[in-house]
Structure 1
Amino acid sequence: MSPAPGDDAESVTLAFAGDTMLGRLVDEHQRTRDATAVWGDLLPTIQTCDGVFLNLECCLSTGGDPWTETYHPFHFRADPEWAGPALRHAGVDWVSLANNHVLDFGVEGLYDTLDTLTSIGVACSGAGRTVAAARSPAVVSVGDCTVALVAFTDNTPEFAASQERPGTAYVEIDDSGSVPTETRDVVAESLAAATRADPDLLVVSLHWGPNMRTAPPQSFQSFAHWLVDQGVDLVFGHSAHVFHGVERYRDGLVLYDTGDLVDDYAVDSGLHNDRSFLFVVEVRAGSITGLRLVPTEIDEFAVNHAPDGVANWSRERMRTLSRRFGTEFRRDGEDLVLDLTVPPDTEKKAADD
């Protein structure tokens, strides 16, 4: 979208994190510990980033009633009294609300969430009081970088906003083949609105697919490529609770699934949904120039830097999953690094070396 980076341009670092569920046992523990405890020893790393963006997989409320209009077994909410300060101390700039938990406590829970985010100065996309609001982009300034973000989900169609009711920005993205024309039309309209803000970086957040899926289906890859072809710089995926591979496609970067940042979920001993990364994107003069993956682990209802054995498992799994897309990382200390200023073949040789 923007000119190629120049040597004298200053870079900014933008941290993207997957499902952040602050309710239930996380909420219970946070009532007796400091607001920042949920970020564990990862907090200083988060705070060094210029911008922070995540999927908020709960509502911020103490009111409302559990959703019962349709079968919905899990209900997540966090007390804004601690969750608001926690988000603020971590420097969170924006959250996605396009997911299957923002209406866990009905319209009241959604409205409380919107009001809390407004009060602490955190932008959001993906849900709203009207369908137009849910589909509208958020525009965030991070230093000299302007970031426009839209968010959609294919989860829980009963949460979808309409002309008559509040809810999420729902679109259909199934596994059967190509993405429906109606979905592309709806998303294209939101992208056009975002482009009118003349952002340096255009991000689409997608809460897509079922839990514990280990790789994106072909329809997801096709949709991600279509988004980049429309001018999207970064596709920010989540929902599976386990991270997926990373793809460079033309001038875009696709994070198919960023896994879980923090929650209280039962851990699968094979898939390890308690392990993921902080996905730190470097942007210079409106172009993504690099990606750094910081290994993380959920422990005691908080996110922390992953210990050596866990970090090694996550690095090797990410490398394996990303090779499917021709992406090769190199290691830098505990992190994985991807340099997007060099051609993929050069990058592969550096990784092999």
Structure 2
Amino acid sequence: MKLTNSIILSFLVVIIFISCTSNSAQVIIVEPKAADTVIRKIKDTISITAVGDIMLGSAFPSTANLPPDDAINSFQAVDSLLKGDIVFGNLEGCFLNSGNSTKCNGINPNNCYAFRMPERYAGIYKKAGFNVLSIANNHVGDFDSKGRKNTARILDSLKIHYAGQVNKPYEIFERDSIRYAFCAFAPNENTVSINKIDSAKALVARLKKQVDIVIVSFHGGGEGARFEHVTRKNELFYNENRGNVYAFAHAVIDAGADAVLGHGPHVSRAVEVYKNKFIAYSMGNFCTYGMFSLKGNNGFAPLIQLKINGKGDFLYADVVSVKQDKISRLTIDKNGTAFKRIKDLTDEDFKGHKLLFENNRISVVKE
């Protein structure tokens, strides 16, 4: 029996054309829609700008922990760099104007790491250009459900995409005709667990069937200068299992993830390209005011400008090194310290990696 053209089109899902004029894949997706055919063209290059931890100042236990400019100039040094199809960061705290933290019960509040940014600070993230934020970490829940719910409400009102709590494990959205899924994982209470790798794989695989590009974020690994290396083991920190970030990253890529963006250790870690997909194992402290330690390598971080093609494959990544101190706050590091440290750590942790680190750019060595 011969099939008519309309029946053939109803079963046709994806046709991919490779453009010989570009070093990336040009993807044209043909989708059935009733009797008509809808054609979506995915551009050759997708830009993802990614940074690590961000906490602009906490009004707890007092407003003395807020910056003198009320955080308005927090991103001034990098304002022109926070551009792209996706601009991502880890929201290390909640948006809440008042309240005490139960995690500080019996502890001197001045020695308790509980962060609540004034609600007005959310607009500073939006104005800076952030459009995707992880809320899977150990500080978004510092003020319990009140802080989590209020943060979600504010991010929704600003149309900033977010995910990572058990009641919001992922978000699907569209930008410039490209369908994205974003999901985030952590080892902390009320977050989607980084330690349940099979569940993470199942979620990513399900999302990949619905979208063009899947971006995965994780908050994992020990904290501080002693935890710069990717160990390939479960990392314990204060008796908490912070996950095997190597196994997790590889597993979600096996399941369909196109980019994996890590944070949590407060220092930079190595990067990897696995099955043509980019992994940043930790992007350090990007913009963190107040009680965060900025000593040594804790004070340096990358701003990663990642380029992937329409199939999600790695093209290259430019790294802008930034630094922080208690006086100057966030500034560009002309010495490129974060880039150099990432190169050294990648050389040590992923011997034979076939990546080229040159002129603040990470690319694949051409064979």
After TM superposition, is the score higher than 0.5? yes
**Are 1:101 and 2:139 an aligned pair?**
yes
- Cα gap change, 1:12 to 1:150, in 2 (>3 Å): same
Alpha-carbon RMSD across the aligned residues, in angstroms, is: 2.7
What residue is the counterpart of 1:320 in the other structure? 344
CA contact (8 A) 2:320 2:339 kept: no
What residue is the counterpart of 2:323 in the other structure? 297
In structure 1, what is the Cα distance between the partners aligned to 2:70 and 2:274? 42
**Are 1:124 and 2:162 an aligned pair?**
yes
Identity of aligned residues (%): 22
What residue is the counterpart of 1:11 in the other structure? 45
In structure 2, what is the Cα distance between the partners aligned to 1:141 and 1:54? 19
Could you say what secondary structure the match of 2:131 adopts? strand
Give CA deviations for 1:180-203 in whole Å, capped at 9, x if unaligned.
Answer: xxx1232123213422422x2211
Q: Give the C-alpha shift of residue 253 in structure 1.
A: 1.2
Q: Give the C-alpha shift of residue 222 in structure 1.
A: 2.6
**Are 1:60 and 2:74 an aligned pair?**
no
Q: Give the C-alpha shift of residue 111 in structure 1.
A: 0.9
Letter in 1 for 2:207: A
- Cα gap change, 1:322 to 1:71, in 2 (>3 Å): farther
Q: Give the C-alpha shift of residue 24 in structure 1.
A: 2.6
- Cα gap change, 1:71 to 1:118, in 2 (>3 Å): farther
- What is the TM-score of this pair, normalised by structure 1? 0.79
Letter in 2 for 1:19: D
Could you say what secondary structure the match of 1:243 adopts? coil
In structure 2, what is the Cα distance between the partners aligned to 1:5 and 1:304? 41
- Structure 1 or 2: more helix by fraction: 1
Give CA deviations for 1:243-274 in whole Å, capped at 9, x if unaligned.
Answer: 101111112111111111111312233xx211
What residue is the counterpart of 1:329 in the other structure? 356
Q: Give the C-alpha shift of residue 101 in structure 1.
A: 0.3
Letter in 2 for 1:328: L
The gaps in structure 1 that reach 5 residues or longer are: 161-167, 173-182, 347-353
What residue is the counterpart of 1:203 in the other structure? 215
In structure 1, what is the Cα distance between the partners aligned to 2:282 and 2:357? 20
In structure 1, what is the Cα distance between the partners aligned to 2:139 and 2:328? 18
**Are 1:266 and 2:293 an aligned pair?**
yes
CA contact (8 A) 1:277 1:294 kept: yes
Match of 1:170 among 174, 182, 193: 193
CA contact (8 A) 1:67 1:103 kept: no
**Are 1:88 and 2:126 an aligned pair?**
yes
- Cα gap change, 1:328 to 1:116, in 2 (>3 Å): same
In structure 1, what is the Cα distance between the partners aligned to 2:99 and 2:59? 19
Further displaced range: 117-126 or 61-70: 61-70
**Are 1:24 and 2:58 an aligned pair?**
yes
CA contact (8 A) 1:279 1:293 kept: yes
Match of 1:218 among 215, 232, 237: 232
In structure 2, what is the Cα distance between the partners aligned to 1:125 and 1:207? 12
Aligned residues: 307
Structure with larger Rg: 2
In structure 1, what is the Cα distance between the partners aligned to 2:18 and 2:102? 48
- What is the TM-score of this pair, normalised by structure 2? 0.76
CA contact (8 A) 1:140 1:148 kept: yes
CA contact (8 A) 2:103 2:114 kept: no
Letter in 2 for 1:235: V
CA contact (8 A) 2:355 2:363 kept: no
The gaps in structure 2 that reach 5 residues or longer are: 1-13, 27-42, 234-244
- Cα gap change, 1:5 to 1:214, in 2 (>3 Å): farther
CA contact (8 A) 2:268 2:338 kept: no
In structure 2, what is the Cα distance between the partners aligned to 1:286 and 1:151? 21
What residue is the counterpart of 1:191 in the other structure? 204
Larger RCO, structures 1/2 (Cα 8 Å, 6+ apart): 1
What residue is the counterpart of 1:74 in the other structure? 113
Q: Give the C-alpha shift of residue 205 in structure 1.
A: 0.8
In structure 2, what is the Cα distance between the partners aligned to 1:216 and 1:91? 30
What residue is the counterpart of 1:177 in the other structure? none
Q: Give the C-alpha shift of residue 134 in structure 1.
A: 3.2
Further displaced range: 11-20 or 94-103: 11-20
